[in-house]
Structure 1
């Protein structure tokens, strides 16, 4: 091991890349963490597992700078050298576990193509769903009670209306079959249904005309002459 673990006991000393693992620490009991790690490192050093290496700093920096500045190295670094690593990338390729019988590069290219197609299909589906998405329901500014009351009043106002119905018209859809003067008079005696219904409606029409005429006469100015003072 190129790092000197025994030197970890010294204060303010850090090893670059060291994750904190200490060998055989899980088998130590009855002592604090610092005492256990110190004894473990000392034992490893005594049995020859750990070795000391002297660090030799690079004294001549001009040699390295000249190599980096040379035109050949710049040309080599732009094309021939491998691309830099992606920080944090673990090497996972989606769908790689389902490809067999081919090389790694070919399987990776196929997985990448399938992933791109799936991403494009999902994007197209998302755009289509957004275009066809219905509008959200509008929140009412009035309570349900006031709306129901207004609808009920409107229904009551339009429930009955003054409309002229001729005796020649056929029965109305939804009509229950009641015909005026059928049971209380002799209109329906010894008559067919059509004839009795027509006579009943004609008689109802005459009564209505008589009633309207009487109302018109009562409301006319002739029936209420002005008195002279």
Structure 2
């Protein structure tokens, strides 16, 4: 351990004098970025960085001695930076403890800075100052526009409500009385407009659409489908079941009907998995859950236990 760790040791001026560094040069061993350093050779690290600091004054290293003299004179680095920002016309808010974008953004901040991603070729401090200035100006511009709009809207007189106006009421009643009303469900015979990409039955599976416009093609397909649906419903209503039973009226309380289940029914049917060799409809008609004539299957089971 050295005396420096206990607060003693040489001062900064003594250390700089011992290393013998020129103003603007970095201490040998500094691993940060130095502009154009990799394109120069033949000189020591301190001499080369001192010459580069003259070529790039906006990237000049901090002179510790000058900073100490300025601090002793009462001028801080923050005040100098604020003076530079005011000279450039930048609007940089002061830090209040709650605001995030302020003047003097420290390098190493990994958060989001507005419009910083679109800026290149400068130091982090300068680019952040320009980004924060643009953000503040845009925010103030939007606030001014919102204030102007609010002021303009309040300047005009408030519109009166027309809800109780007799003329408006009579006009609405006139329109409602003459509006066409559909009696029941409308049949699906109206052809769609050209450009409709949905499904139209009996158009592409038949010859109804050959040599016709889209309007005529869809109208022919819908009329063909409607006639086939009506004829099929009439045949189902007049046909008798193959087993000879009388058709039973549908009961809203029964899930498994006496005439059997439709082949497309994918629900559970008791004891269906133990029957083979018949069609789906014939199998479900022969099952006890469908074969009984009681309103519910529970009533059927209670009648068996009562007997």
Q: Rg: which structure is higher?
A: 1
TM-score, length-scaled by structure 2: 0.19
